[in-house]
Amino acid sequence: MFVAGKIFAVIPAAGMGTRLGAGIPKAFFELGGVTLLRRAYESLVAAGVDRVIIAASPDMHERARLECPDAVIVAGGKERADSVLCGLDAIADQLGHEAGADDVVLVHDAARALTPVEMIQRLMVVPDGVDCVVPALPVSDTIKQVDEQMRVVGTPARAALRAVQTPQACRLVTLLKANEAFQRDESGDFCPTDDASLIEWFGGTVVVAPGDERALKITHPIDVVIAEHYLA
Ligand code: C5P
């Protein structure tokens, strides 16, 4: 085990939040009077992250700056992965930091606003020989894999499945290299929905650590009800 060098966090917060239907980008939706973005940012700061970078749509930058005064704020991209990349680029371009072997970056969805600080702190130490640690929970549903005709083509053993959350703690150099390789890849047959899958695709080692129910991704209106329950 080693204690990380610098610890960065990138918050992709440029999603529209269409499924939540709040009429504003989801990161700026208020839960108990505080935006999801501010809650996520403050948890990362409380956990001891050195610098936080937020990727948000330009029309929300002023608001983001007010709510997260010490964060670096950059424009997001078309997909989540593009927004994460914009955030990663800022580490060198805006902070002038050259990635070292022991640096860690936590990529954390603003939508997981109630993630406990202790869970974030547990993830900040990436073991030797590991490139990425992701918080995960066992799944309670049986999961089917289907083809384009909706025919079931497989049922993975449930005991071996995990639902993953964020923050995902990656070695900064590995995530940068995985992103570079992905930018060069022209096959178009891989669409990463999280950062760990990009590292897996690149050939890195990803392990899971215990997640927490409170780190739920606030996506649909029912999630707001659950989150309010946790807040109460
Ligand atoms: O849409 P979804 O809930 O999967 O988004 C996860 C996170 O990625 C959210 O915090 C959202 O704001 C962010 N995102 C982004 N840029 C996009 C799409 C989503 O930063 N283009």
CATH of the domain at 213: 3.90.550.10
pLDDT score at 1: 44
In this structure, is residue 49 part of a structural domain?
A: yes
Q: How confident is the model at residue 188 (pLDDT cuts 50, 70, 90)?
A: confident
Pocket test for ligand 1, best of 53, 83, 115, 223 (most atoms within 8 A of CB): 83
Report how far apart the first and last C-alpha atoms of the chain are (Å, whole number).
37
In this structure, is residue 2 part of a structural domain?
A: no
Q: How confident is the model at residue 42 (pLDDT cuts 50, 70, 90)?
A: very high
In this structure, is residue 1 part of a structural domain?
A: no
The tokens describing 223, both together, are: 């999630």
- Minimum mean pLDDT range among 47-51, 98-102, 222-226: 98-102
pLDDT score at 23: 86
Q: Is the pLDDT of residue 2 over 70?
A: no
pLDDT score at 171: 97
Each residue's pLDDT tens digit, 141-167: 999 999 999 999 999 999 999 999 999
In this structure, is residue 169 part of a structural domain?
A: yes
The total domain count for the chain is: 1
Cβ of 39 below 6 Å from ligand 1 = no
For residues 18-39, one letter each, b for 16 or more C-beta atoms within 10 angstroms of the residue's C-beta and e for the rest, the string is: eebebeebbbbbebeeebbbbb
Residue 46 burial (CB count, 10 A):
12
Mean pLDDT within 112-139: 97
> Atom 3 of ligand 1 has which residue's CA nearest to it?
219
pLDDT score at 16: 86
In this structure, is residue 72 part of a structural domain?
A: yes
Highest mean pLDDT: which of 81-85, 124-128, 163-167, 182-186? 163-167
Pocket test for ligand 1, best of 31, 109, 198 (most atoms within 8 A of CB): 109
pLDDT score at 26: 93
Each residue's pLDDT tens digit, 71-88: 999 999 998 999 999 999
Residue scoring higher pLDDT (190 or 119): 119
CA 58 to centroid of ligand 1, rounded, Å: 15
pLDDT score at 11: 98
CA distance 90 to 8: 11
pLDDT score at 147: 97
Mean pLDDT within 212-226: 97
- Give the count of alpha carbons within 13 A of 158, CB side only: 7
Domain membership of residue 40 as a residue range: 7-231
pLDDT score at 4: 56
In this structure, is residue 182 part of a structural domain?
A: yes
Q: How confident is the model at residue 21 (pLDDT cuts 50, 70, 90)?
A: confident
In this structure, is residue 152 part of a structural domain?
A: yes
pLDDT score at 181: 94
Interhelix angle 172-184/195-202, nearest 10 degrees: 70
CA 22 to centroid of ligand 1, rounded, Å: 15
In the block, residue with structure tokens 């997640």: 211
Rg (CA), the chain: 17
Mean pLDDT within 199-222: 97
Burial class (CB in 10 A: 0-12, 13-18, 19+), 45: middle
In this structure, is residue 155 part of a structural domain?
A: yes
Q: Work out the mean pLDDT of the chain and round it to a whole number.
A: 95
